[in-house]
Amino acid sequence: MTAIDKEKIQIYPAITSHSSREVTPFWRDKYEKDARKYWDIFYKRHQDKFFKDRHYLDKEWGHYFNVQNNQKFVVLEIGCGVGNTIFPLVSTYPNIFVHACDFSKRAVGLVKAHKEFTEDKVNAFICDVTSDDLTQNILPFSVDIVTMVFMLSAVSPEKMCLVIKNIRKILKPNGRVLLRDYAFGDLAQERLTSKDQKIGESFYVRGDGTRVFYFSVDFLTNLFIENGFYTEEVDVCCKQVENRSLELVMDRRWIQAVFSNTRPDYVKSKKEEDILTPEGNDKNVNHSTATDMSESIIQLFDVSPSIDELIEFRLRDSYFKIKVLGREHQHTCKSTGLMLWESARLMSTLLYENPSIVAGKTVLELGCGSAGICSMVATRSAEFVVSTDGDTETLDLLKLNIVANLEPDQHNKMIVKELVWGNKEHIAAIKDLRNNEGGFEMIIGTDVTYVPEAITPLFETARELISDSEVNAETKPALILCHMQRRVDEETIISTARQFGFKLSDIWYVHGTPAHSGGIIDSWFIQLDSSHDHLLRNTPFNIMYFQVFK
């Protein structure tokens, strides 16, 4: 008897003279409890020989992975198995970085043993996405695409919503989920039904103890919609397989869908009216140029979340305790400002280590969020700082964080004001703070470029509020934008900036690739030591330095 035979788990007949045609509660619970064990045995038995590499993904979804300007693109493959999805992607798209997770330790081991596996391209880790927080291994809001290929069907239906909520924590605004899985009416479902291996509605156990769910369009779309996503595409595909010797024609069916966490401009689906948005078609949207950034994240359910999470952030000899929205609510909240974004951590670190950036200057922060960390650091050397955001709840929390983290003598150097970009009254109120002495000498924005509709009002507002003073090149007013690379491409940002009189003087990318060696931004990183590496590792940061041209 081989080791595999010894480890084989017997699947007992589910039906008895006293039972229904579903498995007994005892075995239903056992399949759930031992799910990881069954998949570990599966991969021990089959190694990497069972599934074929999914090269068809390039044909089906290639346009989602094509990235211009050599920008880094981050993908998460959930239920990666032995890498049949991730390695075709890595070999096809050179700018991709893939996070790959599976709850089978043996599967992840096989991924790491793959001949094409390299840590600079793939981060493989063990994770049960129904219970383990993805942010323990992946930075929040850092993933462009999540792929789920024949994965969600292996999860108990009652736990599928936990997977979707977990995904929202790491997906960027305008991020997408690409899903392919088994569809209701597939031949295999009919076979499992006839063998009395049903666990629940559309949910079955196979002969090796692994489980499978068969999706209908309604079930799948409702699952994502109820958890804050929008449906861009959904189709059921059918292929007939013929067994000529038995004169049988058999149907293989699978469902393929694309979901977005931001309302799409269009929906390509057979049920457009029904699955466009959680709220249905919104015909009362105000399309004025005034853009409130808080509207960019989907508002789910009628929840009144508590502000109950404290983030501790250290900058050399300074220690900040920032109160933010609890992590369990961050990704279902209307406002994007109630959390501390990674780009704000980076920019505040640069300001701390290079006080000359804002020394003696008047500083304006756009979209500061409730943390306001860049503004608080800037108060150490700036003349004074105005910290702005378009969400009043965010500003209320910011005021509490200022009191908790700044010394009393610094409070007078920091002013908090509401500013919805493009709003003339708000802009006029900000100008009044300068007492007709001109605009601001330094404007800073972190992670404020991820919504396409916000780019024009962003630069329109910045141009209204930036100083026209030109004492010398070193003190010439500037606009600094620091962000993780998202759906708004670099060229759109630069061209829009040019329309409002800004020129790009310098640019810096995540791996320290400046527009020119020895540039303005490049010099800021000289002061950073290895303790700051965690801010840059596998995170597609981009810093742009704009100045006004005449």
**Is the Cα dihedral 113, 118, 119, 122 positive or negative?**
negative
Indicate the range of 35-39, 165-169, 287-291 predicted with least confidence.
287-291
- Euclidean distance between CA atoms 466 and 477, whole angstroms: 7
Q: Is the pLDDT of residue 362 over 90?
A: yes
- Euclidean distance between CA atoms 444 and 460, whole angstroms: 14
CA angle 483, 486, 487 (to 5 degrees): 140
The predicted model gives 451-476 an average pLDDT of 84
Which pLDDT score is estimated for 262? 82
Q: Is the pLDDT of residue 280 over 50?
A: no
Query: What strands, in cross-sheet order, belong to the sheet with 143-149?
Result: 122-126, 96-102, 73-78, 143-149, 171-182, 248-260, 230-243, 268-269
- C-beta separation of 172 from 487 below 8 A: yes
Mean residue pLDDT of the chain comes to 79
| Identity of residue 38 | Y
> Whats the size of the chain, residue-wise?
550
518 pLDDT band (50/70/90 cuts)? low
- Euclidean distance between CA atoms 327 and 340, whole angstroms: 11
Core vs surface per residue 403-415: b (16+ CB within 10 A) or e: eebbeeeeeebbe
Q: Is the pLDDT of residue 12 over 70?
A: no
Assigned token pair, 79: 């239920």
| Identity of residue 303 | V
166 pLDDT band (50/70/90 cuts)? very high
Q: Is the pLDDT of residue 168 over 60?
A: yes
The predicted model gives 328-336 an average pLDDT of 40
Domains of the chain, CATH where assigned: 20-59+71-262 (3.40.50.150), 293-548 (3.40.50.150)
| Identity of residue 135 | T
- Euclidean distance between CA atoms 56 and 82, whole angstroms: 17
- Euclidean distance between CA atoms 210 and 202, whole angstroms: 14
Global confidence as pTM: 0.48
Which pLDDT score is estimated for 531? 57
Cα 415 from chain centre: 31
- Euclidean distance between CA atoms 543 and 547, whole angstroms: 14
The predicted model gives 426-430 an average pLDDT of 95
Q: Is the pLDDT of residue 298 over 50?
A: no
- Residues 300-328: pLDDT tens digits? 222 333 445 677 888 888 888 888 754 43
